[in-house]
């Protein structure tokens, strides 16, 4: 039999819930129908996906199938949402994906401009990490992307958007903020330090060696700021982040770290509403963001 998306969805829900009763309830199907679907899937593969008769433990193959199937189900569901959104966008659809630190600068301005200029325009805004911004552009799920660093992408135009210096971010009353002279890299890494994904953009072996001893890595910016606000930790982030961090947190340049982050604006050249994407891109570039 040809594998269908609903077969994969059924298997994923059973794997997530660990029992047929709850899975059937979530799927809106009978328990026997769910059981039959699983049997057909296992017969098609020729191997068991669960260990034993109970459905609370996946086999080695089952775990591999689950990871792959879950991605496909989520991608299918997102594709359906995208298709429906496009169909309902009579005045056009604009999808912008950005790294969080720049999204806070760009989203309010571009939203106000585009909705004022184009009443009825559908706009989707999403913030995520650089890799997922690039993936969204390549997969045709974004018309405009804003990401750290430069990557050559097919049918996507990349334009420098802004540069900002890296520096110390910590609690406003931290000794490294209160001291009269700017802290050095040695000062920053001599106290408990949290590494974050943006640290990898600093192309300095001295810096990378200094933070290699960091025991904690936090990828989510909100969680990162929450931790440094306690005063027990410090980190290094681009200066644009400092414009949106709470008052209890502060940014300060590091005397011997002059590296800057380069942020690029990516514009798809194969989007359905190309004129809208180009207009939004021109507006973003016209703003003073640095």
- Per-residue pLDDT of 79-88, as tens digits, reads 887 777 777 6
42, 58, 86 — which closes off a domain?
86
Coil, helix or strand at residue 118: coil
- Per-residue pLDDT of 190-219, as tens digits, reads 899 999 888 888 888 888 888 888 888 998
pLDDT band (50, 70, 90) for residue 268 = very high
Q: State the pLDDT at residue 251.
A: 92
Does residue 97 sit in the same domain as residue 141?
yes
Closest CA to 243 of 145, 191, 183, 165: 165
User: Is the per-residue pLDDT at 1 higher than 70?
Assistant: no
Does residue 185 sit in the same domain as residue 74?
no
Q: Which two tokens mark 218?
A: 């936090």
What's the CATH number where 268 sits?
3.40.190.10
Does residue 266 sit in the same domain as residue 156?
yes
User: Is the per-residue pLDDT at 245 higher than 80?
Assistant: no
Does residue 127 sit in the same domain as residue 115?
yes
66, 86, 106 — which closes off a domain?
86
Does residue 137 sit in the same domain as residue 271?
yes
Does residue 17 sit in the same domain as residue 53?
yes
Does residue 72 sit in the same domain as residue 121?
no
Overall number of domains in the chain: 3
Does residue 223 sit in the same domain as residue 282?
no
Contact by Cβ (8 Å): 261, 201: yes
Does residue 151 sit in the same domain as residue 280?
yes
Does residue 148 sit in the same domain as residue 118?
yes
> pTM of the predicted model, to two decimals?
0.69
Does residue 154 sit in the same domain as residue 275?
yes
pLDDT band (50, 70, 90) for residue 89 = low
Following DSSP, what letter does each residue of 175-241 receive, concatenated? HHHHSSSPPPHHHHHTS-BEE-GGGGG---HHHHHHHTT--EE---HHHHHHHHTTTS-BEEEEHHH
Contact by Cβ (8 Å): 238, 199: no
- Per-residue pLDDT of 112-121, as tens digits, reads 999 999 988 8
Q: Which two tokens mark 252?
A: 């300060």
- Per-residue pLDDT of 146-204, as tens digits, reads 999 899 999 999 999 999 899 999 999 999 998 899 999 889 988 999 998 888 888 88
User: Is the per-residue pLDDT at 90 higher than 90?
Assistant: no
User: Is the per-residue pLDDT at 290 higher than 70?
Assistant: no
* Dist CA 230 CA 216 (whole Å): 15
Does residue 119 sit in the same domain as residue 133?
yes
Q: Which two tokens mark 185?
A: 């890299």
Q: What's the domain range around 25?
A: 5-86
């Amino acid at each position: 039999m040809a594998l269908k998306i609903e077969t994969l969805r059924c298997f994923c829900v059973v794997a997530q819930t660990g029992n047929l009763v709850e899975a059937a309830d979530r799927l809106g199907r009978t328990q026997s129908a769910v059981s039959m679907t699983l049997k057909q899937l296992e017969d098609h593969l020729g191997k068991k996906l669960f260990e034993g008769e109970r459905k609370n433990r996946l086999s080695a193959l089952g775990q591999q199938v689950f990871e792959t199937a879950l991605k496909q189900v989520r991608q299918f569901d997102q594709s359906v949402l995208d298709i429906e959104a496009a169909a309902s966008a009579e005045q056009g659809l604009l999808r912008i994906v950005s790294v969080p630190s720049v999204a806070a600068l760009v989203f309010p301005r571009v939203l106000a401009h585009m909705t004022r200029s184009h009443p009825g325009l559908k706009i989707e805004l999403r913030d995520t990490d650089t890799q997922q911004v690039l993936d969204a552009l390549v997969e045709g799920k974004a018309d405009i992307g804003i990401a750290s660093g430069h990557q050559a992408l097919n049918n996507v135009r990349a334009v420098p958007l802004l540069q900002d210096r890296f520096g110390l971010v910590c609690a406003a009353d931290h000794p490294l903020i209160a001291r009269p002279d700017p802290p050095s890299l040695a000062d920053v890494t001599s106290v408990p330090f949290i590494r974050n994904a943006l640290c990898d953009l600093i192309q300095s072996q001295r810096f990378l060696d200094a933070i290699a001893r960091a025991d904690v890595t936090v990828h989510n910016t909100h969680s990162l700021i929450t931790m440094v606000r306690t005063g027990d930790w410090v980190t290094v982030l681009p200066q644009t982040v400092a414009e949106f961090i709470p008052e209890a947190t502060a940014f300060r340049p590091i005397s011997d770290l002059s590296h800057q982050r380069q942020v690029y604006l990516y514009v798809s050249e194969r989007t359905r509403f190309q004129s809208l994407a180009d207009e939004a891109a021109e507006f973003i570039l016209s703003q003073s963001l640095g």
